[in-house]
């Protein structure tokens, strides 16, 4: 009996030993390696409408996520429907529109985020940001630790000195402990990504933090820009702001390739000195069409290329002009018009889009068709598009400029030696010598 007991004991021991060895082997070969987790911290900030604030914070390297929401309120529901009721517009207990910024402190510091916060809104306006008025738009920093509170107060006091030097009033930013954060409704999250033709509210003062050197404890304020060239003639001023994705989209889609005769200028809200503008500078991008330093009209938000050139056409040509009628209302000039006579016998060169300056036709492809309209055997490569036109009981092929989408004329199959004939309105072209 005793012998049997020892045998059982030895077998159990060996089984446990093999199990332990197998477990160690599995741990060595199969168990996932646990890497150091990403360091995370968060801060809740309110700087007016949370749409633009969320987008700008998410563009900062080191920010893991930014979530729009509501905080620092009581006695009402933390919902958009509740905080926007007229009865709550000036309610001291109303919730503020805020953004919960989650970040990696090893990549971006809280000090840098707070500096960004102060630089990208006007913390002196109280319960408003630009035309957004009410307690929901108040400037707010909601901390979770004493260290965050002390840092927020320190950064605020430094910025107050800079604002005072620039002529601004007292900072009204509320610095208080975070009670709770309520995420906003789904349609508010990443709102500007879901609405690509929206705009980023920009209420920044233009006053920036700078490094504090021993020999210079004062910061530069808004950069000096010479606007005197804009006081004569026609110009387009594009109001932009840092971290504005729609400003970048305008440059990529329109600005970088623009070749028109009307100069295009980029400005921040703080660098519009000397210009007479009446459209609020609360949104970016805003396009100001100005003449002799005075606004003629403006557009807030990102424009598509065809809408931009239609606005430019109204500014340059005038809506009552024949050129505007042809370009945007599919009109047709009279045969042998004055501009046709001017262009029929030019020297060597190219005919360009009257608005964008983009080359469309080459004088070497021009011929006299006797029709009374400029005629070319071809357009320059990738300069035009052709669209079926079955209006007025006819089957024709319409020709439009690819970049601006303005109407140019039609193309037919009756050119010289079996070639095509591009029948083009002269009023929508300009000529440039080679």
Omega cis (within 30) before 422? no
Residue 398 lies in a domain: yes
Helix (H) or strand (E) holding 21: helix 2-29
pLDDT the model gives residue 287: 96
Same domain, 66 and 190: yes
- Locate all alpha helices (DSSP H) within 244-321, ordered by sequence: 245-253, 305-316
Distance CA 312, CA 261 (A): 11
Q: What is the mean pLDDT of the chain?
A: 86
Q: Is 252 exposed, middle or buried (0-12, 13-18, 19+ CB in 10 A)?
A: exposed
CATH of the domain at 238: 3.40.30.10
The DSSP result for 127-165, as a single string, is: SEETTEESGGG-EEEEESSHHHHHHHHHHHHHHHHHHHH
**Is residue 169 predicted with pLDDT exceeding 80?**
yes
pTM for the whole thing? 0.58
Residue ranges making up the domain that contains 259 = 228-303
Residue 5 pLDDT level (bands cut at 50, 70, 90):
very low
According to DSSP, residue 100 is labeled E
pLDDT, tens digit (0-9, with 9 covering 90-100), for 189-230: 887 667 666 666 677 888 999 743 333 333 334 455 788 889
Residue 10 lies in a domain: no
Beta partners for 132? 129
Distance CA 157, CA 87 (A): 34
**Is residue 12 predicted with pLDDT exceeding 90?**
no
Q: What is the mean pLDDT of residues 373-394?
A: 95
Percent of the chain with pLDDT over 70: 85
pLDDT, tens digit (0-9, with 9 covering 90-100), for 284-320: 899 999 999 999 999 999 999 999 999 999 999 999 9
Same domain, 354 and 273: no
pLDDT the model gives residue 27: 41
pLDDT, tens digit (0-9, with 9 covering 90-100), for 118-140: 998 999 988 988 778 999 999 99
Same domain, 65 and 185: yes
pLDDT the model gives residue 206: 86
According to DSSP, residue 216 is labeled B
Q: What is the mean pLDDT of residues 388-416?
A: 94
Q: What is the mean pLDDT of residues 105-116?
A: 92
Residue 318 lies in a domain: no
Catalytic residue IDs: 49
Residue 337 lies in a domain: yes
Same domain, 269 and 147: no
**Is residue 28 predicted with pLDDT exceeding 60?**
no
- Taking the CA atoms of residue 368, residue 373, residue 377 and residue 381 in that order, the dihedral angle to the nearest 10 degrees is 140
Residue 32 lies in a domain: no
Residue 209 lies in a domain: no
Whole-number Cα distances in Å, 99 to 60, 79, 159, 211, 391: 14, 14, 21, 27, 53
pLDDT, tens digit (0-9, with 9 covering 90-100), for 75-108: 999 999 999 999 999 999 999 999 999 999 888 8
Q: What is the mean pLDDT of residues 218-247?
A: 78
CATH of the domain at 45: 3.30.1060.10
pLDDT, tens digit (0-9, with 9 covering 90-100), for 319-361: 999 999 999 999 999 999 999 999 998 999 999 999 999 999 9
Distance CA 111, CA 209 (A): 11
């Amino acid at each position: 009996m005793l012998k049997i007991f020892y045998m059982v004991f030895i077998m159990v021991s060996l089984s446990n030993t093999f199990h332990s060895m197998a477990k160690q082997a599995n741990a060595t070969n199969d168990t996932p390696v646990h890497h150091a987790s990403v360091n995370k911290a968060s801060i809740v900030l309110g700087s007016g409408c949370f749409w633009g604030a969320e987008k700008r914070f998410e563009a900062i390297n080191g920010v893991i996520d930014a979530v729009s929401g509501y905080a620092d309120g009581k006695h009402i529901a933390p919902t958009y429907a509740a905080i926007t009721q007229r009865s709550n517009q000036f309610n001291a207990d109303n919730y503020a529109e805020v953004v919960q910024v989650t970040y990696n402190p090893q990549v971006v510091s809280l000090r840098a985020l707070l500096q960004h916060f102060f630089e990208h809104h006007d913390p002196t306006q109280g319960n408003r940001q630009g035309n957004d008025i009410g307690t929901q738009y108040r400037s707010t920093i909601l901390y979770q630790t004493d260290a965050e509170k002390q840092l927020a107060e320190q950064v605020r006091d430094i910025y107050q000195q800079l604002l005072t030097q620039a002529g601004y009033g007292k900072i009204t930013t509320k610095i208080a402990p975070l009670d709770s954060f309520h995420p906003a409704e789904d349609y508010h999250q990443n709102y500007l990504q879901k609405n690509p033709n929206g705009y980023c509210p920009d209420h920044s003062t233009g006053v920036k933090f700078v490094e504090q050197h021993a020999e210079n404890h004062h910061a530069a304020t808004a950069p000096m820009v010479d606007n005197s060239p804009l006081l004569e003639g026609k110009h387009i001023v594009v109001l932009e702001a840092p971290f504005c994705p729609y400003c970048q989209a305008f440059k990529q889609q329109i600005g970088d390739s623009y070749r028109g005769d009307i100069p295009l200028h980029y400005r921040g809200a703080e660098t519009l000195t000397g210009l007479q503008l009446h459209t609020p500078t609360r949104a970016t991008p805003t396009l100001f069409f100005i003449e002799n330093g005075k606004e003629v009209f403006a557009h807030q938000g990102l424009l598509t290329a065809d809408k931009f050139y239609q606005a430019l056409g109204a500014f340059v040509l005038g809506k009552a002009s024949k050129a505007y009628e042809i370009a945007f209302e599919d009109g047709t000039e009279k045969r042998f018009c004055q501009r046709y006579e001017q262009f029929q016998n030019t020297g060597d060169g190219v005919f360009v889009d009257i608005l964008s300056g983009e080359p469309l036709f080459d004088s070497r492809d021009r011929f006299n068709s006797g029709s009374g309209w400029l005629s070319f055997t071809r357009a320059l490569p990738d300069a035009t598009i052709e669209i079926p036109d079955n209006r007025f009981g006819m089957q024709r092929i319409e020709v439009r400029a690819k970049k601006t989408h303005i109407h140019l004329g039609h193309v037919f199959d009756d050119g010289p030696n079996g070639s095509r004939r591009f029948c083009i309105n002269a009023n929508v072209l300009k000529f440039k010598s080679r």
